[in-house]
Amino acid sequence: MKRLLFVVLTTVCSVSWAEWQLCGNSGSGDKNASYFCDTSTIRRNGAISQMWKITNYKKVQTNAKGDRYMSAKVLKAYNCIEETNARITLIHYSESMGEGEVVWSNKRQESEWKWNPVAGTEMQTAWEIACGRK
């Protein structure tokens, strides 16, 4: 419970002070979305860089639990050498740009991170920004 409260408070505070920049668009229909990266949150440790990103959906999304949301804020880890990324934290919000209520959240321990390639995906630009390539 304390961990969830920390994530929520950190997220609420960071949304208002974030330096969001558009870093991509993708999808069509219900999955049509815009992606924003917060360059002020980039943290680098060796080959691994972390950065927060928000996905704004054009239409209401519904997660597996039936919660409805309009944006998703995600903390990603980016391997700047292997060109991969892994999700650390995911938070669904009722409104755009991480506003409104938190309707769902999940944080993974480092042992649970699943590394995926960024090449040819909407994650390519975010990886370039987080790794200082753009």
Q: What's the mean pLDDT when you consider all of the chain?
A: 89
In the prediction, which pLDDT does 31 show? Answer: 76
Residues 19, 22, 27, 30: is their CA dihedral positive or negative?
Answer: positive
Task: List residues bridging with 54 in a β-sheet.
Answer: 36, 73
Among candidate residues 121, 111, 124, 49, the one with its CA nearest the CA of residue 80: 49
How confident is the model over 74-106, as pLDDT tens digits?
999 999 999 999 999 999 999 999 999 999 999
Residue 16 has pLDDT above 60, yes or no: no
Q: What is the 3-state secondary structure (H, E, C) of 41-97?
A: EEEEECCEEEEEEEEEEEEEEECCCCCEEEEEEEEEEEECCCCEEEEEEEEEECCHH
Residue 11 has pLDDT above 70, yes or no: no
Query: Which residue ranges form the domains of the chain, and what is each CATH number?
Result: 2-130 (2.40.128.710)
Across 5-9, 54-58, 116-120, least confident range: 5-9
Question: Strand, coil or helix: what is 105?
Answer: strand
* Number of C-beta neighbours around residue 37 at 10 A: 26
Residue 48 has pLDDT above 80, yes or no: yes
Residue 13 has pLDDT above 50, yes or no: no
In the prediction, which pLDDT does 5 show? Answer: 42
